[in-house]
Amino acid sequence: MPKLEGLDYYRRQTRPTNPFIWLAAIFCAILTVVVIVTGVVVFVGYIVIRPKVPFISVTSSHLDKIYYTEAGELTTQITIVVRAENDNAKAHASFSDMDFTLRFDGIVVAQLVNDAFDVKKNTSVDFNYVVESSPIPLDEQAMALMDMSLKQNRITFGLKGNARARWKVGLLGSVKFWCHLNCQLSFFPSNGSSTYSYCSSRSKK
């Protein structure tokens, strides 16, 4: 190949630009503008709407009944109020696949499930779960813990699970995410009242 030098080299390099290169350049420019405009719209939308993430919490609970036999069988009834809260003045929220498990020392006491439901703007929805267990045989470790709990007048159940939240933020579209709930519900067995401790899917432990 002959070596190109001086003006000859310059001419070769400045021949008319291929139309495909032009198309690509225009396409890139348009894409850049679209990305910037989308960013501005989302940002302004965020500032105007000020979205607050919907969440689930346990607002109250009560130990209605607790029977514990010599043979180590536990029967209990617990009322749990679960609240789904949407603090947004401009965005609807909906929840689905709500599924929580109540456990004592890792042993499943009951399952709490719910159908899908909507939570309108700036409102909350409460669900009153009256959880009644069938007699549950406890293992040795759980029996020891139960004996101690009753003696010390303080019993703790774990409530853990997820709900799928869908959040419709006007023009910005909808966002889906999981709410994780992981609560310790403690009660005084003597009168059934709970030792209140707030628990929500927002708080990180």
Ligand X SMILES: *[C@@H]1O[C@H](CO)[C@@H](O)[C@H](O)[C@H]1NC(C)=O
CB of 84 to ligand X, least distance (A): 15
* Nearest residue (CB) to ligand X, 69 versus 190: 190
Binding mask 119-138 for ligand X (x = CB under 6 A): ---x----------------
Nearest Cα to 83, choosing from 125, 112, 28?
A: 125
Degrees (nearest 5) of the Cα angle 127, 128, 132?
A: 130
Q: Which residues contact 121 (CB under 8 A, 6 or more apart)?
A: 86, 88, 89, 90, 91, 92
Query: Taking CB under 6 A as the rule, does residue 69 contact ligand X?
Result: no
CB of 64 to ligand X, least distance (A): 13
Query: Taking CB under 6 A as the rule, does residue 89 contact ligand X?
Result: yes
CB of 195 to ligand X, least distance (A): 8
Per-position DSSP letters for 190-204, written without gaps between them: TT-BB----EESS--
Query: Taking CB under 6 A as the rule, does residue 193 contact ligand X?
Result: yes
Enumerate the β-bridge partners of residue 156.
186
Size of the site for ligand X (CB under 6 A): 7
Residue 51 and residue 173: Cα distance in Å, rounded?
12
Virtual CA dihedral for 100, 103, 109, 113, nearest 10 degrees?
A: 0
* Nearest residue (CB) to ligand X, 79 versus 101: 79
* Nearest residue (CB) to ligand X, 9 versus 196: 196
* Nearest residue (CB) to ligand X, 50 versus 176: 50
User: Look-up: residue for tokens 């020392």?
Assistant: 105
Residues 139-158 that bind ligand X (CB under 6 A): 153
CB of 66 to ligand X, least distance (A): 14
SS3 185: strand
Binding mask 170-189 for ligand X (x = CB under 6 A): ------------------x-
Tokens for 160?
A: 């853990």
Gap between the terminal Cα atoms of the chain = 71
Residues interacting with ligand X, by CB under 6 A?
Answer: 89, 122, 153, 188, 190-191, 193
